Structure 1
Amino acid sequence: MSEYILETKNLVKEFRGFIAVKDVNLQVKRGTIHALIGPNGAGKTTCFNLLTKFLTPTSGKIFLNDHEITHEKPTQIARRGVIRSFQISAVFPQLTVLENVRIGLQRATGLSYHFWRSDKILRNLNGKALDLLKQVDLGEYANELTVNLPYGRKRALEIATTLAMEPELMLLDEPTQGMGHEDVSRVTDLIKKVSVGRTILMVEHNMKVVSQIADKITVLARGAVLAEGTYQEVSSNAGVMEAYMGTTTGELEGAHG
């Protein structure tokens, strides 16, 4: 098996003559945190939607564990262990924190549509759900209605529900979007913590977060790969500086994409 869990070859997405993603060759090494960054309009979200099969490529190929998934549906790649966490917090606000994670566990165990199951059977999942909540520092909130959680805690809950699906590859879409400094630090630490034994591909605008946890960074600009490497390598790249800030000198850290 290849050292790369996910690969794309000459990936292209065109919308009525506009090329949003242009010949992107991406290699995500298993067991790493790989960040996809770029200024506004760089094609990050389109690329993410192609990888999670919410969009179909115009041309090119996508491989997961050496198996081509270019034409598979989102449900098919989810069964292969690719789970996406959305930019807008995807939780059920009127359920408790524990119940939200339990829904993820139900899906993973094939009980997702069996809502007629007895409470006793569902309660059997509570222990594992609580373990997952403890992993993301939400154990004390287990019985709290999700609607009452602060925004940063809701994002932590979303990561817990993603973990409940037992992902081999987690795709995180702007995990710190809209957060204050304290929540950003908490979620950054959380991502690093849950990355052990897993692979994470993340779209992220906060360069401080990227610099702290990403093993490898791919920079997109105008739909194409502009640079790739460690944070130190891409942050000193003149092309990256110009794409972000309109200058070939300065500090990339703190720039938003």
Structure 2
Amino acid sequence: MEGVILQTVDLCKAFKGFTAVDKVNLSVRRGDIHALIGPNGAGKTTVFNLLTKFLPPTSGQILFKGEDITREAPAEVALRGVIRSFQISAVFPHLTVLENVRVALQRKLGLTYHFWRPDTALKALDERAMALLEEVGLADFARTVTIELAYGRKRALEIATTLAVDPELMLLDEPTQGMGGEDVARITELIRKVAANRTVLMVEHNMKVIASIADRITVLQRGAVLAEGSYAEVSNNPAVMEAYMGTAHA
């Protein structure tokens, strides 16, 4: 399919007779912010785990840029540029913000996770690290020890470390979870900004966030696709209203 960067074909995952993901056909267009939503237990996280190969599918296919990646290992998928935020953004609380981004950048110089190297050997990464921190609004916190950051800024740092590996497709799992209104607004705007030249697939419960930034939305219920379309289309779909509210007239 022209313009589609990620596609699943009848993707299924069963656990001892329980079908968590049931013939999901998903098409993510290049350059879109595509949201995956649904009630608790709908299968959203399982789909993410299948896409990033933390779980093997029971059946079906996963295609990235037209190539079948269904049986590839997580590291192989990541090298293709499919990056889930927590895969490379488990921030180190006792390193500075700048040091965290440098760790994520190390593979660019073939120095991946060589923590024993002297600090001077990594200075070449500082310019790019600072540019990334500027992009996510953390330049002023570069020398701050990460544990001292507010929660919302830690999430911004996770996005910076994700960007450090130049993802073609960013998978963001609940990026605004647990945040207050001000942090939600900041992270929402940050996602909009970093998605300008990238493709984003995100799981998110906050419908205000979805309404403001998602180009396309796929709704899951009981592991299957219930609806797909723009926010206006899915929010006015009676089946979606019933799934969320318990009644088609809510």
Given that residues 93 and 147 in structure 1 are in contact (C-alpha distance below 8 angstroms), is that contact kept between their aligned partners in structure 2?
Answer: yes
SS at match of 1:196: helix
Query: By percentage of residues, which structure has more helix?
Result: 2
- TM-score (ref. length: structure 2): 0.97
Displacement of 1:2 in angstroms is 3.4
Q: Distance in 2 between matches of 1:101 and 1:73?
A: 25
Aligned to 2:102: 102
What does 1:36-115 align with in structure 2 at a 5 Å threshold?
Answer: 36-86=36-86, 90-115=90-115
Residue 242 of structure 1: how far off its partner (Å)? 0.3
Asked if structure 2 preserves the Cα contact closer than 8 Å seen for 1:108 and 1:166, the reply is no
**Separation in 1, partners of 2:170, 2:80:** 12
Runs of 4+ in 1 over 4 A off after TM superposition: none
Deviations, residues 182-215 of structure 1 (Å, cap 9, x unaligned): 1000000000000011000000011000000000
The number of residue pairs the alignment matches comes to 249
Q: Specify the alignment match of 2:210 in structure 1.
A: 210
Shift of residue 247, structure 1, vs aligned partner: 1.3
How far has the Cα of 1:240 moved from its partner? Answer: 0.2
5+ residue gaps, structure 1: 251-257
- Residue correspondence of structure 1 range 103-252 to structure 2 within 5 A: 103-250=103-250
Task: Name the SS for the 1:248 alignment partner.
Answer: coil
CA distance in 1, matches of 2:221, 2:123: 48
Report the AA paired with residue 33 of structure 1.
Answer: I
Rounded to whole Å, the distance in 2 between the matches of 1:103 and 1:118 is: 13
1:111 to partner: Cα distance: 1.2
The answer on whether the counterparts of 1:173 and 1:204 sit within 8 Å (CA) in structure 2 is yes
SS at match of 1:129: helix
How many angstroms does 1:248 deviate by?
A: 1.1
Distance in 2, matches of 1:224 and 1:108, equals 39
Instruction: Determine if the alignment matches structure 1 residue 22 to structure 2 residue 33.
Output: no
Letter in 2 for 1:227: A
CA distance in structure 2 between the aligned counterparts of 1:28 and 1:229, rounded to whole angstroms? 12
Given that 2:33 and 2:216 are in contact with CA atoms closer than 8 Å, whether structure 1 keeps it comes out as yes
TM-score relative to the length of structure 1: 0.94
Q: Percent identity?
A: 67
Distance 2:221 2:175 in 1: 21
